[in-house]
Amino acid sequence: MNLRQLFVQHVAQTSETPLAFEIKKARGCRLWDAKGKEYIDAIAGISVCNVGHRHPKVIKAIKKQADEYLHVLVYGEMIESPQVRYAKLLTDHLPKTLNSVYFTNSGAEAVEGAMKLAKRFTNRTQIVAFKNSYHGSTQGALSVMGDENWRNAFRPLLPGVMHIDFNSFDDLHFINKETACVIVESVQAEAGVTLPAKGWMQALKQRCHETGALLIMDEIQTGFGRTGTLWAFEQYGITPDILLLGKALGGGMPLGAFIADKELMRVLTHEPVLGHITTFGGHPVCCAAGMAALEVLLEKKLIKSIKEKENLFLKQLWHPLIRSVHSAGLLIAVEFDSFEINKKIIDACIKKGLLTDWFLFAPHCLRIAPPLTISKKEIKEACGIIVDVLKKMG
């Protein structure tokens, strides 16, 4: 059997039609397959590789930590310097009430931990989430996902979860004194990059404050400069009670986190002890890689260039087949009439050397979320491929 056949035979599949081309090398904003074909990566592993693939500083940090130690004990028992230093760097760049980091293996696991923390701290059970929201595929995260098509096959899920409309001021009254937490994306990514209405996030935060519900902000896709500020919630003038991170947090390595005030986080230490536990969460190599990536992001001042790059994409992406373009920094959705049209465009772009994708709840939208290091030349090249494909489609 060749490698493709072995992949289909022995690696569990997530769809009936995986892309199934073999990547041999990645660097910066470029990928190369087994035949040597080069691709511009327009999705960065779904907002993971914010400082590009295999940034030299990240690779150096991985090698250095691998020479010292790998896993030593379950999370939270040993003083592991990569965890401690990365937690300090993160909290140095967050509001003072977000000062305690619990590292996990992924964003979905961060969601699970945050929901447990909210229930434990408030002694309440109701959770409010939003329609068209995405928070992961584990049982708890799936319970707060805002799309019944994706949830229904796996019921029964968590009880006590209510889904309300994103951007609805009227629906905020459903948050009450029985609500443990409200979980919200700072930008609804999988809905096709839906931004909050003016003043809505502030109203949501105020309602949580009035009722004693904790506000959990999901920045798993939008964190680390993706939308033009280090954290998207900075643009709304609010601070969440719990912040969720993942994807770019590990610099290309698997890592997630939920972050809260020490007063909240301490409830997981007793009644029962080990109220939340993970074996590999905050793996020292992953923390070393993530810290190096954040240092690159801060030192190179990449975030200052995001709006300019966003505008360049918006200027280049014009064609009668494009219905609209939604953007939040370098998280961009290009809308077409249908998924069928979008899929043809995606496939044609891949053949021409541009890797892109669609959105779970907006399959008629083409995803653009490249490494933040993408150059103006690469942006023009990527947009040129898309527009050329559209011209040939008529």
Provide the residue ranges of all domains of the chain, joining segments of one domain with +: 3-54+301-393, 56-299
**What's the Cα-to-Cα distance from 257 to each of 86, 244, 320, 390, rounded to whole Å?**
11, 6, 42, 40
**Helix (H) or strand (E) segment spanning residue 183:** strand 179-185
Query: Residue 394: is its pLDDT beyond 80?
Result: no
Question: 134 and 246 in contact (C-beta within 8 Å)?
Answer: no
d(CA 141, CA 136): 5
d(CA 318, CA 314): 8
Residue 35 neighbours by CB distance under 10 Å? 8
Band of pLDDT at residue 16, cut at 50, 70 and 90: confident
Instruction: Give the class (CATH, top level) of 56-299.
Output: alpha beta
Tens-place pLDDT, residues 313-345: 999 999 999 999 999 999 999 999 999 999 999
Helix intervals (H) in 162-220: 200-211
CA torsion 358-362-366-369 (nearest 10°) is -80
Q: 176: burial class by Cβ within 10 Å (0-12, 13-18, 19+)?
A: middle
Same topology, domains 3-54+301-393 and 56-299? Answer is: no
Band of pLDDT at residue 7, cut at 50, 70 and 90: confident
Assign domain 3-54+301-393 to its CATH superfamily.
Aspartate Aminotransferase, domain 1 (3.90.1150.10)
Angle (nearest 5°) at CA 76 between 95 and 257: 40
User: How confident is the model at residue 213, as a pLDDT?
Assistant: 98
Does this model's pTM top 0.85? yes
Tens-place pLDDT, residues 159-202: 999 999 999 999 999 999 999 999 999 999 999 999 999 999 99
